[in-house]
Structure 1
Amino acid sequence: MMGTKERAFARLVNVSLEKLVPADHFYRQVERTLDLSFVRECVQPMYASGGRPSIDPVVFFKLQLVMFFEGIRSERQLIRQAADRLSVRWYLGYDLDEPLPDHSSLSKIRTRYGLDVFRWFFDAIVQQCQQAKLVWGKELYLDSTQVNANADLDSLTPRFAVEAREAIQRHLTALFAQENQGDEEEGGESMDAPMSEGSSNTGTCLQPTSLPVALSQQEQEELETERSMRHDWIVEEGRQQREIHGLYQRSADFQISTTDPDATPMRLKNGGLHLGYHTHYVVDGGKRRIILEALVTPAEVMDNQPMLDLLWHVRFRWHVRPRQITGDTKYGTIENIKAIEDAGMRAYIPLPDWDQQRPPYFGPSKFTYDAVHDRYVCPNGQLLHLSRMEYKAEKVEYRAEAATCNACPLKAQCTPSNHGRQVHRSFHANYLERVRGYQQTLAYQKALKKRKVWVEPLFAEAKDWHGMRRFRLRRLWRVNCEAQVIAAGHNLQQLLKKRGWGRRPFPTDAICASFGLFWMLCSLTFARKISSFADCLSFFKDEEVRFPLC
């Protein structure tokens, strides 16, 4: 007789999630490893003292970690999967018949917290990794990767139109606000009041570089003031300082996406063009590969621009003293190398090949610098003498005589100019020579090989398993929040491995059983073939006898 299953569900009685979730479950290990109660202290000022109780901030960040571990791309999908997963309900602290938060609440909570709380969350996990001795701090590796934005190229529109519309909206909002306030605002504070000292970004900047005494005192002060007020990429959340671009303009300077205004066009390796961002990592050189800093910038920002801010933040925030800084060729600017070397660290960074910028003519490497007489010698043996010094660009120009160049048989390979070949040398060229000396050492070569297998696999894991191939959120501060959660999740995985998760137990019983079997077989063999001490001697002397394989 065929049976049929009736769908009749009786109410469960005396059933607890503590009994249903296994004792060795993954989320139990996460709960034992990471105590998120510190989040409540961080966000306490953002809530009123009375009113309806909100969603627990700890639950919000636990949901973010579940999204990371499960590779979920949507908050709707996150709530649906968490609703029918006993282990996730146990981790969140919600009972079987208790409704989970609505997916829209997660977006509102993220907006309430902002990026600072997510950075606090990331720093707290790094601090626990440092307390667990997972941070080595002797070597730092920097790299970045391209991440597609949640926007399409068809959403690009002229920037001036969008900025004009936003300016008009801000102006109208300010006018209506003044009308609503009435005469009560006459003696109040101006809307265009300057920023307070606490909101200034100049406090964490580097000291201005000392220049050769050739400019006037006023010009030196203006130049040093301009450099001392350099753009702080971490404080500005990776936002580009578009006011000081100069004559050179990118496509992002006159086009903006209406879907994600912070995403900018980027050229992919396969030749395609997408809207996207750059995700920057600073990774510790220890075997756990702890991510010490993560930052997302628009794709128009070059990799070398936020490098120093990331490096100083890691060095002073975590009190590490790295001996070497390793990056690829994109970080090899004179400013970065000089700052690293002046700080007592070694810059293991490949230098760009400037000869490729002048095909088919001789590059700067073809000219030999004579430090004794302060001049250059060209490939034909002619001299290039000091012509002028460009103090704002911090470089010296050396030029050959026009008549000598025009009569040179190698002129067609050297320069198309009739005024003589010129070569520029930086004021800080000695730092570049020092880095070129590193390139011959074994430590430099090992560092470059290690960088390929140290940072790039982290980006591959984040893209393949945790959804960083394309950001699901929009706007720069939101994608920074997403990147902070991904980096914090990676560090938490390393902390779990340190606490024993994923480690196979040592097979003690199997080894003991194998050793006992081996001893028994050897005993039987000797007992059968050796009956006395004389037989034992003859047994070992006989070359034809071999021990059986046990």
Structure 2
Amino acid sequence: MRLDILFFLDYDIDEELPWHSTLSRTRQLFPEEVFESVFEHIFGMCVVKGMVSGHTQAIDSAPVKANASMDSLELKVPEEDLEEHLRKVRYMSTLDRSRKAKVNKADKNQQTITASQGELQEIKSRNKKWSQDQDQRVGAGNKGSKYTSNKTHYSPTDPDARISVKPGKARKLNYLSQMSVDTAHHVISHITADFADKKDNQCLPTIIEKLKPRLHKKGMFWNNILADTAYSSGENYALLEKEAIDSYIHLTELIKAVRMGLHT
């Protein structure tokens, strides 16, 4: 269906294509190290061709939809009540054949509630407001919808998925993709998946830890970083200064934090 991809892969329009499971199933058999080595090899080829400068990297994130439904979310419970809750859920599952999650893949930590009383009260207040104006929210027209939180709910079918939302978008179970692009010819220099409830500024140290040695191994030195305000924090600016990387990141979040500190 995508003629540009067929052209790129040197397939004629009437030529038989590989079966999709060659990618979708086979890739599940290989460990992360295999994909990392393939990425390093292709990145090295781009370096040899002069497509990578190394000195300036642009970083951004994007949500990646998880293959899990919001309808399958389970309620977290206090640790002391977990076993009783599971027994009840198993019993209800035998009665309700429409239940989507046949197997609970989440570990005990994921099923146990971690929210404080204050956070629970805040979620309760949001639920009340949600029920009042849900018709005005994207993806919340369902009268039975609830304001769900990662602190109170989890996905039994995909424990790595997290509830996340972007302005103007519906709440979904997502992962978080973090990508770095070399600005010379837009070659991807680093990409990783993380939990969607993490903030971008929490992911930046790991990106630096992985990307700087990769560039150094190819004889390149990382001098500049371009990123939006979501990556700004005092800790990140200190780390970038230590690593001798000039940052072009808007200071909005840092200024907000300083102002809050002054008020308190």
TM class by shorter chain equals 0.5 to 0.7
Q: How does 1:511-522 map to 2 (within 5 A)?
A: none
Q: Quote how far apart the aligned CAs of 1:164 are.
A: 5.5
Partner of 2:98: none
Alignment of 1:142 with 2:59, yes or no, is yes
Q: State the structure with more CA Rg.
A: 1
**Which one of 177, 187, 194 corresponds to residue 297 of structure 1?**
194
Matched residue of 1:272: which SS?
A: coil
Change (3 A) 1:284 1:252: same
Q: C-alpha offsets along residues 382-405 of structure 1, whole Å, 9 cap, x if unaligned?
A: xxxxxxxxxxxxxxx8xxxxxxxx
Query: Aligned partners of 1:345 and 1:355: how far apart in 2?
Result: 21
Partner of 2:152: 254
**Which one of 32, 35, 40 corresponds to residue 118 of structure 1?**
35
Q: Quote how far apart the aligned CAs of 1:138 are.
A: 1.1
Partner of 1:311: 208
Change (3 A) 1:164 1:119: farther
Matched residue of 2:202: which SS?
A: coil
Query: Aligned partners of 1:26 and 1:153: how far apart in 2?
Result: 37
RMSD: 3.8
Query: Aligned partners of 2:9 and 2:23: how far apart in 1?
Result: 23
Query: Aligned partners of 2:190 and 2:212: how far apart in 1?
Result: 10
**Which one of 183, 186, 194 corresponds to residue 285 of structure 1?**
183
Q: Quote how far apart the aligned CAs of 1:246 are.
A: 8.7
Q: Quote how far apart the aligned CAs of 1:136 are.
A: 0.4
Which blocks of at least 5 consecutive residues in structure 1 are unaligned? 1-24, 29-65, 67-80, 90-99, 169-240, 358-362, 366-396, 398-421, 425-550
With the length of structure 1 as denominator, give the TM-score of the two structures: 0.32
Matched residue of 1:294: which SS?
A: strand
Q: C-alpha offsets along residues 424-460 of structure 1, whole Å, 9 cap, x if unaligned?
A: 7xxxxxxxxxxxxxxxxxxxxxxxxxxxxxxxxxxxx
Q: Quote how far apart the aligned CAs of 1:161 are.
A: 9.0
Matched residue of 2:158: which SS?
A: coil
Partner of 1:326: 226
Give the AA of the match of 2:234.
Answer: I
Query: Aligned partners of 1:106 and 1:356: how far apart in 2?
Result: 44
Give the AA of the match of 1:103.
Answer: S
Q: Quote how far apart the aligned CAs of 1:105 are.
A: 9.1
Task: Answer yes or no: is the 8 Å Cα contact 1:145–1:280 preserved in 2.
Answer: yes
Change (3 A) 1:299 1:27: closer
Partner of 1:541: none
Give the AA of the match of 1:122.
Answer: F
Partner of 2:167: 269
Q: How does 1:76-225 map to 2 (within 5 A)?
A: 85-86=15-16, 88=17, 103=21, 107=25, 109-160=26-77
Q: Quote how far apart the aligned CAs of 1:325 are.
A: 1.1
Change (3 A) 1:254 1:145: same
Give the AA of the match of 2:248.
Answer: Y
Could you tell me the percent identity over the aligned residues? 24
Matched residue of 1:282: which SS?
A: strand
Task: Answer yes or no: is the 8 Å Cα contact 2:233–2:254 preserved in 1.
Answer: no
Q: Quote how far apart the aligned CAs of 1:364 are.
A: 3.3
Q: Quote how far apart the aligned CAs of 1:156 are.
A: 0.5
Q: Quote how far apart the aligned CAs of 1:290 are.
A: 0.7
Q: Quote how far apart the aligned CAs of 1:137 are.
A: 0.7
Change (3 A) 1:105 1:136: closer
Matched residue of 2:150: which SS?
A: helix
Change (3 A) 1:27 1:364: closer
With the length of structure 2 as denominator, give the TM-score of the two structures: 0.63
Q: Quote how far apart the aligned CAs of 1:106 are.
A: 5.4
Give the AA of the match of 2:49.
Answer: A
Change (3 A) 1:349 1:254: same
Kindly indicate whether structure 1 or structure 2 has the higher relative contact order, using CA contacts under 8 Å at least 6 residues apart.
Answer: 2
Task: Answer yes or no: is the 8 Å Cα contact 1:267–1:274 preserved in 2.
Answer: yes
More strand by share: 2
Task: Answer yes or no: is the 8 Å Cα contact 1:155–1:257 preserved in 2.
Answer: yes
Query: Aligned partners of 2:36 and 2:63: how far apart in 1?
Result: 21
Query: Aligned partners of 1:113 and 1:156: how far apart in 2?
Result: 29
Q: C-alpha offsets along residues 260-286 of structure 1, whole Å, 9 cap, x if unaligned?
A: 221111122215211112111011121
Q: Quote how far apart the aligned CAs of 1:252 are.
A: 1.6
Matched residues, number: 199
Q: How does 1:23-38 map to 2 (within 5 A)?
A: 26-27=8-9
Partner of 2:4: none
Query: Aligned partners of 2:202 and 2:215: how far apart in 1?
Result: 22
**Which one of 250, 259, 264 corresponds to residue 364 of structure 1?**
259
Change (3 A) 1:423 1:106: closer
Change (3 A) 1:275 1:310: same
Q: Quote how far apart the aligned CAs of 1:317 are.
A: 1.6
Partner of 2:235: 335
Query: Aligned partners of 1:329 and 1:114: how far apart in 2?
Result: 34
Q: Quote how far apart the aligned CAs of 1:160 are.
A: 4.6
Change (3 A) 1:297 1:352: same
Matched residue of 2:191: which SS?
A: strand
Query: Aligned partners of 2:201 and 2:161: how far apart in 1?
Result: 19
